[in-house]
Structure 1
Amino acid sequence: MASSSPINAAKDWFARMGWTPFYFQEEAWEAYEKGRCGLVNAPTGSGKTYSLLLPAILQPKLPAAGVKLIWITPIRALSKEIEQASRRAIEGLNLPWEVGVRTGDTSQAEKRRQKSSLPDILITTPESLHLLLSQKQASHLFRNLQCVVVDEWHELIGSKRAVQVELALSALKGMRPKLRVWGISATIGNMEEAMQILMGAEPVRPKPVIIRAQHEKRIEVTSILPDELEVLPWAGHLGIRLLEKVIPIIKSSGSCLIFTNTRSQAEIWYQRILDVAPELAGWLGMHHGSISRELRHWVEDALHSGDLKAVVCTSSLDLGVDFRPVETIIQIGSPKGVARFIQRAGRSGHQPGATSRIYFVPTHSLELVEAAALRSAIDSHIIEERVPYIRSFDVLIQWLVTLAVGEGFYPEVVLKQVRSTVSFSSMTDEEWLWILNFITTGGEPLGGYDEFHRVAIDADGRYFVEKRKVAMRHRLSMGTIVSEAMLQVRLLGGGFLGSIEEWFIARLKPGDVFWFAGKNLELVEVKAMTVRVRKSNSKAGIVPSWQGGRMPLSAQLGEQLRIKLGEAYIGRTDTPSVHPELVMIQPLIELQAERSVVPSERELLIEYFESEEGHHLYVYPFEGRLVHEGMAALIAYRISLFAPLTFSIAMNDYGFELLCDQPIPIQEALDSDIFTVQDLREDIQASVNETEMARRKFRDISHIAGLVFGGYPGKPMKEKHMQSNAQLFFNVFSEDEPNNILLHQAYDEVYTFQLEEARMHAAMDRIEKREIRLIHIEKPTPLAFPIMVDRLREKLTSERLEDRVKRMIEW
């Protein structure tokens, strides 16, 4: 290497590649060379990887053996890009570095080889890193580690996987006190907090830095507008009708990613595209998390090489996959968040300085307002915050058993490490002792059962796992992603297609046809945990659905949506909008104004309507489904204090409905200020079945903490058995140990993440300061109609729903 310094070497290589480094890249190179830690914040496709990879591999006097750089990625697909980028740099700089990948897709042979010796650069996931730290020789494996880079940190920060990263970093810093820690992140609303969580609760010297790219990523948003507008919209109806307009975009693009919000949508759009344009067969692929690893890898390689023209995908291709041929991005339906939309848009123009272009396909007319809101949010640099998980004791319990499975641990040493994390910096001595007792005896209620005595203590006070069965079961259960029980889908000839949730297959009988992995499949039999199928020529089939696929509207997008809806009413301003979407929906807005009012950003609209079903109350906070679920229950409870009423509740991202067979005393309730934040927690507790919600949360907590075992490979425990076991523990703890830490955690997660109490409090506080417009309507309005349809969808089949909606439109 001819250059005198790592920075000069990096610049020389860039010059040979025909690239010019951005200022943020040079800033990161200099900060790394000075021994700093920090966070690199730059748009997708701007060269974030090389801002940290190059200085890490160009450091002089590196040890001869062992892993020196760990690169943590949130998804397996991203690991492939990092591997390719690393090899490109190593070959270009003529460095003797070895690169390896360790994820759930890594072969068993490679894992065995890595068990004794890790490559110089290890690209891995949080779960796989924990598995490595559970090895008996973990400290030897990491003895020469110099740096850890956490990629796409913004994606991890709002999950328990971030807690996994915090704990792993605390242990690695214990082994290597001078370890450099860096993160890579797209923009989020709480960037400083994100860096603090990554760095830890204790001061780091020299002070960590946030290095921000000064250039902005240009994003062009183009909506696919329908020829005819639904003035009474309902969710999911419009999108597929725009397919004829989407096909030409796919054909005219050199390559295209078609993003859907759920795996079910991906299956539907893949099939419908081929139905309308069969000439795309062989040029169109599909990619989502339930498809087999081999098929996903084939799709990624084929798109990169140009063998595929388009891929229908989900968030499985959201992050970092550097497919340079991708020219066009199509988003089916609103992504419900600004950051997610920007991330997906960034898949096109995935090079420094290039413009990202994204087409927006609404699934109902009101989503056109969301398109305008997304464009305004991008222009105004409005981005969501990520709420971190704090005090996730289920993850800590799993971590301590991981350490005990490996080299074992001494409590006084690990306590200091654990408290150095932001997540557990507030943990008390009493909570720590409770956790140690829990992993060694199972705690007071379970002390009499030997299977919960997982960790032993030797004469020196070292905590370790001595039972081979405990170690094996723990390694099989590690991780914080708890999904429904999955069944393998295999063709009769033996080909593996992917995995599907048990509850969906339980609805089918042999001979039924369903769509999966881009194929129409006939169910032959379910044997053990394998679904055997054959290809079907039938044109009809059931589309699988997966739990937890729908994302709620973010607070930031909700705010922009309220603003844009107010702007959309030309009758209020007499000035046509600059957004073509808002011009398009004028008939819908005019109908809303004719039947009710179009609320401005400073107003809360409430509509009251009487039909043969009963008395309907519609409220439109535009705060997302989760907030509306809790708010609807709260408002129903407060109204019921005036009269003993029973309500049915329905909601979508824009508002909620209270339906009652008796008149609703809404004016009297408004006069008493039912939207006050006073006594909010007490009234929430009275209005929702928090115990049942906590019971459902406890299912995942008990699995992560190791109370419930998911089963062995090929023999997973059935979902109903896991659920019943978790409920049994919940009941035992509730009755015999009400101060159980995991029990309290379940309730905390209900309020923080399910009911979004903090966001509900902010919404109620905002509403208190706004004018409330109570409008008595005679017919459903464009805002009310989709909520009505969503409620009917739960009761009617899709065919009957179509007929019912047609009759409702004629009201």
Structure 2
Amino acid sequence: MSDVGERWFASQGWQSFAFQREVWAAVAQGQSGLLHATTGSGKTYAVWLAAMARLAKEQASSTKAGRRVAPPLGVLWITPMRALAADTQRALQAPLDGLGLDWTLGLRTGDTASSERARQTRRLPTGLITTPESLTLLLTQANAAAQFAGLRMVVVDEWHELLGNKRGVQLQLALARLRQWHPQLIVWGLSATLGNQAHALEVLVPQGGGRLVQGLQPKELQIDTLLPPSLERFPWAGHLGLRLRDQVVAALDASASSLVFTNTRAQAEIWYQALLEARPDWAGLIALHHGSLAREVRDWVELGLKDGRLKAVVCTSSLDLGVDFLPVERVLQIGSAKGIARLLQRAGRSGHAPGRTSRITLVPTHALELIEAAAVQDAVRAGQVEGRQSPENPLDVLVQHLVSMALGGGFRAQELLAEVRSAWAYRTLGDDAWAWALAFVRHGGHSLTAYPDYRRAEPDEEGIWRVPSAALARRHRMGVGTIVSDASISVKFWSKGGGGRALGSVEEAFIARLRPGDCFMFAGGLLELVRVENMTAYVRRGKGRKAAVPRWSGGRMPLSSELADAVVARFAAAAAGQLIGPEMQRLQPLLAVQRAWSALPTPERLLVETLRSREGWHLFVYPFAGRNVHLGLASLLAWRLSRRQPVTFSIAVNDYGFELLSATEVDWSRDLARELLREDDLLADVLGSLNAGELARRRFREIARIAGLVFAGYPGAAKSARQVQASSGLFYEVFRQYDPANLLLSQAEQEVLSQELDVEQLRQTLQQLCQRPIQLQALERATPLAFPLLVERLRESLSSEKLADRIARMVADLERAAGPGADTPPVAQQIDVERELPRARRVREGKTGKPRKSAAAKALES
């Protein structure tokens, strides 16, 4: 069957790799598996050509009414992002055209037009590219079994992106249903950045016998760093801001096409405007891309990249995955990527073809990110990549699945139980939990029995569970999926006749803070709010007023443990006098002050600093375990200390450590005893140290929406975020009072511990800390490592303007104390751009007095 692949490759002037031939042979033998291969090495064609070869022999086109009819659905291609679907379709269509197969290829995502959905309802294409949510919706159709009767193979693209979350669990359940219909179904996953490949394969092919194919082709990866022209010895998060803008502009100018990745959408908006101001002649040649922009804008940007018409695109994770932009020569990463896999994924967007060099340039946003830049290069050379772990037994996803299967032809309870347990995430599902889930969809549990809206599925006379009403069926289909985010507001241009062109969406909470006439930056331009109506914000172009930048949730990513270990190793090398690489040499003045006033962290000792100031008694601890674990550690330590003596603490955390501040005296040398870091009673103490009830209430909001308790509303009549939160909060209180055994409550507590606090990583960190001697350093003033924690705490209590003034005074005092050797610009230039600029920025106007139009705006007008 490799003849099909070799024939196609020969027509393109290509030669196949060994891993591609291995996949072709495995699929020909009916094997499932996981292909782990370098980005841009040809994973897509390895699996797609194998599917074409196998199905071409099994499925032949037929003739009906004098015309040829393509074979029925044979291959499902699952993509984690609908933004990838169109690009994937173009890639898969090329071999079909070149080999002359009569297959049809289609898309089924949230962006698919209703007319196309109607055609697919009558007959699905031979190859269908879809998302986990759209696949589940297809399975809710009463004729789903007939629609999928010809299915022979499923391909899960970017499997690492789904493996560790509930979307992946939803896909596991869908695959279990497809395997129930087709026991010989072939399933392949594709990934380029997975550390725990054996686990990934086991989750994808839980019945065993899956094949792991390694396609690590030799590919040159070039990683370099933009070094700031000057560097202060007392940094804080974001302080470099746009000071490296001119260097970024020079780097972009030297390449024909580049991607500029940022970690947040707000940061992308800021950098896009900054680049356009630096190079107004690039108007129309640079563009903005993130998930909140309208689909038409994103499509225009992606096509411009593929055609080589755009010199640069400022983007977020919306372009992380799978999209093939051959013209892109270079990637720039603004700020630390916080993870090795994420950096490799983004680097692979450049040189996206076998034999081409991928290049990524790191742009630090604070001085300590220079050491992260050096550390990530060490980790890449050592082949260290983070793993992903599948969730286990999420009952909200199970409840949703039960109603979906009741819609999709109905189910018998015992038969579906066996099917569900065949999915890796539910392999240990107990009989009691299963009985609870059935009761919950039947009548809503003990406290909701009297309400008909929660009788969503029940058995008929033959024991087949079905949804009892069409209204409940419509409501359920509107809520299928596990992606839960804050309510969003559409952004459209205002016109006299009503709504104009759509720009995208922002979170409702952001718009709620604005009044008509206020300006904000969005879609690469300055907009003035006209009015808010029917979940839509109508805007017109702004004119140089003070502008805010929208904030989206989920912006802060914790440092991965693998990268954190590499950072500590770099600190330890510096402690031994080894400043290897330009990044570490540039940091030498900062490291010298840290060593002179305290010490440098090492893997062998836990560095702890104490300080007495006018604010009180400070404790700085540096476990290097990421901000989530540090929040748990700080709260745990404060809780245990407060049980010994009456004391109140303020807490600040970052990825390197945490600070505890007490207004009353604390003898840290006495009270920081080893038993304070003991692992005993960890769970009870963590729950006691935090407002666990409020954390669980917040987590329950997501669970309630996934489980179908809370309905977000129909199109055009969506509920506000406040309404949804109020509804979920009411359920939470009702269950706590009248149904305390409700398993969704315990799931909320478990998710708080495992996801928000990462209690398992917290346990491991405590074990490691207990084995390391404490290096206690009494300070006279804040060190370069302590200073970012001081600023982090001050952010919560000071306005931006007061914070900037306070930081300037603090830095000046510390620099004088440090003495000569500073390589520092005037303090006035040190602006925390991501946080300060949104409050004070004025968009410059061109010679005509009109704001320049962004590439996105031009795309909409065209």
TM-score by length of 2: 0.91
Distance 1:47 1:247 in 2: 32
The CA deviation at 1:792 is 1.5
Distance 2:795 2:400 in 1: 40
Q: Which amino acid aligns with 2:3?
A: N
The CA deviation at 1:147 is 0.2
Conserved 8 A contact 1:698-1:746: yes
Distance 1:239 1:27 in 2: 48
Alignment length, in residue pairs? 798
Conserved 8 A contact 2:487-2:507: yes
Which of 451-460 and 250-259 deviates more?
Answer: 451-460
Structure 1 position 141 matched with structure 2 position 141: no
Distance 2:721 2:4 in 1: 55
Structure 1 segment 294-309 matched on structure 2, within 5 A: 294-309=296-311
Distance 1:699 1:637 in 2: 27
Distance 1:245 1:265 in 2: 17
1:252 to 242, 251, 254: 254
Distance 2:520 2:415 in 1: 54
1:791 to 766, 790, 793: 793
Distance 1:760 1:93 in 2: 55
Structure 1 position 74 matched with structure 2 position 80: yes
Conserved 8 A contact 1:302-1:308: yes
Unaligned runs of 5+ in 1: 1-5
Conserved 8 A contact 1:255-1:308: yes
Q: Which amino acid aligns with 2:99?
A: L
The CA deviation at 1:475 is 0.9
Q: Which amino acid aligns with 1:73?
A: T
The CA deviation at 1:528 is 2.0
Q: Which amino acid aligns with 1:796?
A: L
Residue 752 (structure 2) aligns with: 750
Structure 1 position 740 matched with structure 2 position 746: no
Distance 1:402 1:567 in 2: 56
Q: Which amino acid aligns with 2:727?
A: N
Aligned partner of residue 424 in structure 2, secondary structure: coil
Residue 233 (structure 1) aligns with: 235
Residue 126 (structure 1) aligns with: 132
Q: Which amino acid aligns with 1:61?
A: E
Conserved 8 A contact 1:239-1:333: no
Aligned partner of residue 797 in structure 2, secondary structure: coil
**Runs of 4+ deviating beyond 4 Å:** none
Residue 20 (structure 1) aligns with: 15
Distance 1:32 1:118 in 2: 23
Distance 1:63 1:403 in 2: 31
Residue 460 (structure 2) aligns with: 458
Q: Residue by residue, what CA displacement relative to the aligned partner does 1:191-215 show, whole Å, maximum 9, x if unpaired?
A: 1111111112xx34xx211000142
Conserved 8 A contact 2:262-2:335: yes
Residue 483 (structure 2) aligns with: 481
Which of 338-347 and 634-643 deviates more?
Answer: 634-643
1:37 to 32, 49, 65: 32
The CA deviation at 1:483 is 0.6
Distance 1:449 1:522 in 2: 45
Structure 1 position 589 matched with structure 2 position 584: no
Residue 394 (structure 1) aligns with: 396
2:174 to 168, 176, 190: 168
Q: Residue by residue, what CA displacement relative to the aligned partner does 1:679-714 show, whole Å, maximum 9, x if unpaired?
A: 222221221222111111100000000000011112
Residue 549 (structure 2) aligns with: 543
Q: Which amino acid aligns with 1:35?
A: G
1:472 to 468, 471, 474: 474
Structure 1 segment 766-777 matched on structure 2, within 5 A: 766-777=768-779
Which of 734-743 and 441-450 deviates more?
Answer: 734-743
Structure 1 position 50 matched with structure 2 position 45: yes
| Shift in alpha-carbon separation, 1:515–1:96, aligned structure 2, 3 A | same
Residue 696 (structure 1) aligns with: 698
Distance 1:672 1:13 in 2: 66
Distance 2:239 2:545 in 1: 20
The CA deviation at 1:94 is 1.3
Conserved 8 A contact 2:81-2:131: yes
The CA deviation at 1:83 is 0.7
Question: Please, what is the CA RMSD of the aligned residues?
Answer: 1.2
1:530 to 530, 536, 545: 536
Distance 2:470 2:351 in 1: 51
Which of 34-43 and 59-68 deviates more?
Answer: 59-68
1:62 to 50, 56, 59: 59
Q: Which amino acid aligns with 1:500?
A: V
Residue 628 (structure 2) aligns with: 626
Conserved 8 A contact 1:639-1:666: no
Q: Residue by residue, what CA displacement relative to the aligned partner does 1:487-530 show, whole Å, maximum 9, x if unpaired?
A: 11010131100011010111111111000111100011111211
Residue 765 (structure 1) aligns with: 767
Unaligned runs of 5+ in 2: 62-70, 814-862
Q: Which amino acid aligns with 1:158?
A: G
Residue 850 (structure 2) aligns with: none
Structure 1 position 598 matched with structure 2 position 593: no
Q: Residue by residue, what CA displacement relative to the aligned partner does 1:332-362 show, whole Å, maximum 9, x if unpaired?
A: 0001110000000010111112221100000
Structure 1 segment 298-337 matched on structure 2, within 5 A: 298-337=300-339
Conserved 8 A contact 1:793-1:801: yes
The CA deviation at 1:672 is 4.1
Q: Residue by residue, what CA displacement relative to the aligned partner does 1:739-774 show, whole Å, maximum 9, x if unpaired?
A: 211111111111111110111111111111222111
Residue 804 (structure 1) aligns with: 806
The CA deviation at 1:63 is 5.2
Q: Which amino acid aligns with 2:177?
A: A
Distance 1:272 1:755 in 2: 36
Distance 2:674 2:3 in 1: 70
Aligned partner of residue 286 in structure 1, secondary structure: strand
The CA deviation at 1:397 is 0.6
Q: Residue by residue, what CA displacement relative to the aligned partner does 1:266-311 show, whole Å, maximum 9, x if unpaired?
A: 1110111111111111001111111011111111011111221110
Distance 1:256 1:479 in 2: 34
Conserved 8 A contact 1:239-1:361: no
Residue 368 (structure 2) aligns with: 366
Structure 1 segment 379-458 matched on structure 2, within 5 A: 379-458=381-460
The CA deviation at 1:161 is 0.5
Instruction: Work out which structure has the larger RCO, using CA pairs closer than 8 Å and 6 or more positions apart in sequence.
Output: 2
Distance 1:148 1:464 in 2: 27
Residue 182 (structure 1) aligns with: 188
Q: What is the identity percentage for the equivalent residue pairs of Structure 1 and Structure 2?
A: 47
The CA deviation at 1:616 is 1.2
Distance 1:9 1:388 in 2: 35
Distance 1:323 1:166 in 2: 30
Aligned partner of residue 189 in structure 2, secondary structure: strand
Structure 1 segment 633-644 matched on structure 2, within 5 A: 633-644=635-646
Conserved 8 A contact 1:642-1:665: no
The CA deviation at 1:405 is 2.0
Distance 2:486 2:125 in 1: 34
Distance 1:631 1:772 in 2: 15
